[in-house]
Amino acid sequence: MGVRLRHIGAGCAALVIGLLACAAAPQAQPARDRILDDVRVSESDGCAFVTISFNFPVRYVRHFPYSQGNELRIQFEPINISPEDREFLFERESLRPWDREIAALLEVAYEGDIEGGPYLTLLFDQSVTFLAGQGLNFRSLSVITAAAGAPTPCTVLPPTPKRAP
């Protein structure tokens, strides 16, 4: 009987040591280590639609210049950011769209490290006329420009999603 208790005691000790080793293992990092998720450019009826997707909800605040230029800066507010992800808000990062020719878009840069920010800055390879605003959901912002070579500027943002009753 004494031998059996020693085996049980040794087994429990091994279990406790294993559990302590697992508890001391490094914790997993947050799944999101980037602010920007994706930049998509599409064209319809001579208008280029740029959708910038984020890894968390955002709310459009304002943009400048108001309607034309080769640089567009959009101010927005992050919504419901987890404590683990807050540190990423003060970083800088950028994405380049796959199809740059449609909207003359060179780069989209997230600037979380400047006063009054965060800002999203879009750089174009020429002066363009644009409209900017909230995307179709609260995880994106939208910009519309005339497609390269189009004769007139675009004047309509994509339709706003309908709210559930």
CA distance 83 to 49: 33
Domain presence at residue 19: no
Model confidence at 148, pLDDT cuts 50, 70, 90, reads low
Domain interval for residue 55: 36-146
3-state DSSP assignment of residue 145: strand
CA distances (Å), origin 7, targets 1, 2, 4: 10, 9, 5
Model confidence at 151, pLDDT cuts 50, 70, 90, reads low
pTM over 0.85: no
CATH number assigned to the domain comprising residue 135: 2.60.40
Lookup result for tokens 């959901």: 137
Task: Report cis status (omega within 30 of 0) of the bond before 78.
Answer: no
Domain presence at residue 109: yes
Kindly tell me if the per-residue pLDDT of 49 is higher than 80.
Answer: yes
CA distance 154 to 119: 23
Tell me what pLDDT residue 132 has.
Answer: 94
Domain presence at residue 8: no
Domain presence at residue 30: no
pLDDT in tens, 91-129: 888 888 776 667 789 999 999 888 888 999 999 998 888
Domain presence at residue 127: yes
Domain presence at residue 16: no
Tell me what pLDDT residue 142 has.
Answer: 94
Q: Count of residues for the chain?
A: 165
For strands 105-111 and 92-95, give the pairing.
Answer: antiparallel
Domain presence at residue 162: no
For strands 119-134 and 68-78, give the pairing.
Answer: antiparallel
Average pLDDT over residues 69-88: 86
CA distance 81 to 79: 6
Tally of domains in the chain: 1
Average pLDDT over residues 74-93: 83
Q: Contact, 110 vs 131, CB < 8 A?
A: no
CA angle 106, 110, 159 (to 5 degrees): 75
Tell me what pLDDT residue 32 has.
Answer: 55
Tell me what pLDDT residue 92 has.
Answer: 85
Domain presence at residue 153: no
Tell me what pLDDT residue 31 has.
Answer: 38
CA distance 143 to 54: 14
